[in-house]
Amino acid sequence: MTKQRIFNILKKEWQVMFTELNSLMLVTVLPVIILAQGLLYVWLIEKFGGESMINSSFFQSVLRKISEVMSAVSNLEITEQLQVFLLSQFNFYLLLIPVMIAVSFATFSIVDEKQTHSLEALLATPVRTWELLLGKALSGAIPAIIVTWICGALLLLGVQVLGWGDLLTYFLNPAWFIILFLLTPAISILSFLLGVIGSARAKDSKSAQNLVVLIVLPVLALIGIQISGVVWFTTILTLVLALAVVVIDFFVLKVAVRLFSRESIIISWR
Amino acid sequence: MIIETNNLTRKFGDRLAVDNLNLTAEEGKILGFLGPNGAGKTTTMRMLAGLISPTSGYAVVDGIRPDKEAERVHEIIGILTETPGFYNNLSAQRNLEYFAGFYNLSDASAQIEKYLKLMELWERKSDKVGTFSKGMKQRLAITRALIHRPKILFLDEPTSGLDPEVSQEVRGLIQNLSREGYTIILSTHNLSEAEQLCHRIAVIRSALVTLDTPANLRKRLFKHQTMIKLEEIDENLIQAISKLDYVNKHSREENTLLIELADPSKHQSDLIKKIVEAGGRIIEVTDKKHSLEDIYLSLLNEEEKI
């Protein structure tokens, strides 16, 4: 029965979400923009990465860092080294996709229930709170994860098509896969749960999204840390980071379940 | 008794919403919760439905404690909330399928078809609920509460905000459901609705003011009065009536006499004879009916005095 109920929630959530133009735009246009933007930067380096860029002290320090962690990269042309450097950032950059999709779906899903007063009738059914929460979390996390994986595949395809296939061996490392297959789902669920918590405090989806947009900041910080060369996320460090997010997921889930108590929803959600 | 409460109490912070409520509901009957806004009707209903817990005391619903086994209670109840919400971008049928999906129903589609037809919504089953009128949404909400064949139906202000015609339709529907054997708990502040529908009425103002049938409430609160309408009333007639030892009390409203008799079944015919003998020309003799509004106001006034 639990599986049936969760599937029931998933099906309804997707039906409701995909009647909304914003949701459709979010899972189609946004990932394409993020992906195209990234590939464009790599192309620009190849095309216009001149002396000034190569001589820049920032890029020189970054290249030194990348040579330390990937010694094979130092055999490449400077422009190619910069391209590898940028492509290495892509896996973190792609994390923006699940964060934004999951957050947006969470806020929409919860605030819509609040605004339409449908939740009290739903809570009067035999559905358990965790079934409801899991169903909703999956409805937001699954599209977010799938879209991110598709973008990951499109990135590799784009790299191949644009003639940078030789560079794949340099940045397609275990860390890349850990980010895609462990960190992406963990961050999607975390974003959704934080979205739920934010929504529980907000009156409408706009204010909810304003609250939870802050979730994007840590992801931007990760990108910033790696770009600036402060920390380079090696395989081990990436694994530690991903596992830490999984642990955080459980803590945040506890908070979300507490906020989702039938009593507080029925009494406070007006 | 299918529902029993034992000192059921609910506080919200310092505010006492429901105070030591003790009541019972009979199986297959309609029990009305009557009271002013903020009297605790909805809170009581929510506690009985296992949606919120009591601060102290408890309820037993069909042998189950809602505060301990809410999910089991949810299997056997249907609820129409005060503001019934739907997913407006989904069709009526899809909305019902979704809610039916939480019960172990082997014939959900047949149930949905049956009730949509009963509620005259079958033709609109594929339309988005967002396009429905308030009355249609209310009928759909009642359908939603019925599709899993609950034993008990909780209806919170079922006709609130509906136009008179639709309200009457909904009332007819509730009466039909009662005839089918559903136990119905109906919360309302519409007195005529309570009178029309309920077998028993619980007047609530945080605590239980009283619980009885409308007829018994009348008997308890108002003595039987005979209303005699005459062509005209003169002083002689009044004096003649005053002398009768079985007349406890009498008053006059224009050309009508209101007389309280010691034993109406025994003395009414003699009273009429005496009035005719005193020259009174009677147009009509009836028993004074007290509306539920009279009863309700009287009860609340008594409550305030206490």
Both tokens of B49, joined, read 């439905």
Nearest CA in chain A to B80: A121
Closest-CA distance of chain B to residue A250, Å: 25
A206 at interface of B, judged by CB pairs closer than 8 A:
no
A262 at interface of B, judged by CB pairs closer than 8 A:
yes
Facing residue for B87 by CB, picked from A116, A262, A263: A116
Cβ distance A266 to B46 less than 8 Å, yes or no, reads yes
Per-residue pLDDT of chain A (270 residues), as tens digits, is 788 999 999 999 988 887 776 767 777 788 888 888 888 887 887 777 666 666 777 777 777 777 777 777 777 777 788 788 778 777 788 888 888 888 888 877 777 787 788 888 999 999 988 888 888 888 888 988 999 999 989 988 988 888 888 888 887 888 888 999 999 999 888 888 888 777 776 666 667 667 666 777 777 787 777 777 677 788 898 999 999 999 998 888 888 877 777 787 777 765
SS3 A39: helix
Both tokens of B290, joined, read 């007290």
Instruction: Express each pLDDT in B12-48 by its tens digit.
Output: 988 999 999 999 999 999 999 988 888 899 999 999 9
Our measurement of the distance from residue B284's CA atom to the centroid of its chain's CA atoms, rounded to an integer in Å, reads 32
Residues 242-281 of chain B with CB under 8 A from chain A are none
Facing residue for A121 by CB, picked from B81, B89, B101: B81
Nearest CA in chain A to B129: A116
Report the 10 Å Cβ neighbour count for B284. Answer: 9
The DSSP annotation for A90-147 comes to: HHHHTTHHHHHHHHHHHHHHHHHHHHHT-HHHHHTSS--HHHHHHHHHHHHHHHHHHH
Burial class of A64 by CB neighbour count within 10 A (0 to 12, 13 to 18, 19+): exposed
- Cα dihedral sign for B237, B243, B247, B252? positive
How many Cβ contacts (< 8 angstroms) between chains A and B?
A: 79
With the CA atoms of A72, A78, A79 and A85 taken in that order, what torsion angle do they form, in degrees rounded to the nearest 10?
50
Instruction: Express each pLDDT in B92-143 by its tens digit.
Output: 999 999 999 999 888 899 999 998 998 889 999 999 999 999 889 989 999 9
Chain A positions in Cβ-Cβ contact with residue B153 (cut-off 8 Å): none
Chain B positions in Cβ-Cβ contact with residue A22 (cut-off 8 Å): none
Both tokens of A130, joined, read 């965790």
- Cα dihedral sign for B278, B280, B285, B290? negative
Query: Is the confidence at residue B306, as pLDDT, over 60?
Result: no
Burial class of A94 by CB neighbour count within 10 A (0 to 12, 13 to 18, 19+): buried
Cβ distance A117 to B81 less than 8 Å, yes or no, reads yes
CB A92 within 8 A of CB A179: yes
Where do the domains of chain B lie, and which CATH numbers do they carry?
A: 3-219 (3.40.50.300), 223-289 (3.30.70.100)
Cβ distance A8 to B81 less than 8 Å, yes or no, reads no
> HSE-up of B230 (CA within 13 Å, CB side)?
21
Closest-CA distance of chain B to residue A190, Å: 26
> What pTM value is reported for the model?
0.78
A21 at interface of B, judged by CB pairs closer than 8 A:
no
- List all residues 6 or more positions away from A65 whose beta carbon is below 8 Å from its beta carbon: A229, A232
Cβ distance B70 to A262 less than 8 Å, yes or no, reads yes
Facing residue for B74 by CB, picked from A5, A16, A124: A124
Sheet holding B77-80, edge to edge: B77-80, B152-156, B183-188, B30-34, B200-205, B207-212
Burial class of B143 by CB neighbour count within 10 A (0 to 12, 13 to 18, 19+): buried
The dihedrals phi and psi of B160, each to the nearest 5 degrees, come to -60, 130
What is the interface pTM, i.e. ipTM, of the complex?
A: 0.78
Facing residue for A118 by CB, picked from B53, B71, B85: B85
Instruction: Express each pLDDT in B211-224 by its tens digit.
Output: 888 878 777 666 77
Cβ distance B90 to A12 less than 8 Å, yes or no, reads yes
- List all residues 6 or more positions away from B178 whose beta carbon is below 8 Å from its beta carbon: B28, B29, B30, B184, B197, B199
Cβ distance A125 to B99 less than 8 Å, yes or no, reads yes
Closest-CA distance of chain B to residue A144, Å: 22
Closest-CA distance of chain B to residue A125, Å: 5
From the candidates B42, B89, B129, which should be mutated to test the interface with A, based on the most A CB atoms within 10 A? B89
Chain A positions in Cβ-Cβ contact with residue B185 (cut-off 8 Å): none
CB A6 within 8 A of CB A134: yes
Look up residue A77 and give its DSSP letter: -
Residues 78-107 of chain B with CB under 8 A from chain A are 78-79, 81, 83-90, 94, 98-99, 101-104
From residue B264, how far is each of B147, B245, B248, B267, B287 by CA, in Å? Answer: 50, 13, 11, 5, 10
